[in-house]
Amino acid sequence: MTEEEVSVALFMAASRDDEIEVLSWQSIDGKNYFAFDIKLRLPTNERMEPDLILKSGSLWLIEVKGLHSEAIDDEQKLVRLVRELGETQVVEQVYRRAGKLERDAPDIALAVAFGEDDLRGSSQRCEASVSHINWSIAPAEVERAGLARYLDALTQV
């Protein structure tokens, strides 16, 4: 699957799940007609834009690629974002940019989603704090249990 196919499939699965709120979706074509495109600012003024930000039990920051090998740099980017801003500031920026008034501070969960695991499960260069969503095998479970429950299970591993 291509990056675009995985991105659209994840967005559609999130949109169908009543237990998830889509806060941001950076569509591949850059046309964000269906959700905000939240840009987070680091203390250095760099902007980082996770491809998908979802709120279920946790606040999920997700990067999407076609291949697992293409997602390695994105894993480091997600970890850097939380390390440099801190979880509280990430939540505050997301809520402010999404127009949310709530002030709860859900746990932040990080993930990369990809259509093909070309690394064949090797996690030598992967960040331990970043979950993997292998979309070539995830759809059956997502269809059965819903995306929120699928994501919750990733945090239990």
How many CB atoms lie under 10 A from the CB of residue 128? 7
- Name the packing angle between helices 72-85 and 87-98 (round to 10°): 100
User: pLDDT at residue 157 above 70?
Assistant: no
pLDDT, tens only, 9-42: 999 999 999 999 999 998 665 555 566 778 899 9
pLDDT, tens only, 39-69: 899 999 999 999 999 999 899 999 999 999 9
The CATH number for 39's domain is 3.40.1350
Q: How confident is the model at residue 122 (pLDDT cuts 50, 70, 90)?
A: low
pLDDT of residue 99: 81
Are 6 and 135 spatial neighbours (Cβ–Cβ below 8 Å)?
A: yes
CA distance to 137, 140, 148, per residue, from 143 (Å): 11, 5, 11
Q: How many domains does the chain have?
A: 1
Structure tokens belonging to residue 93: 């920026």
pLDDT of residue 38: 86
Which residue range is the domain that position 7 belongs to?
Answer: 3-155
Neighbouring C-alpha atoms within 13 Å toward the C-beta of 31:
4
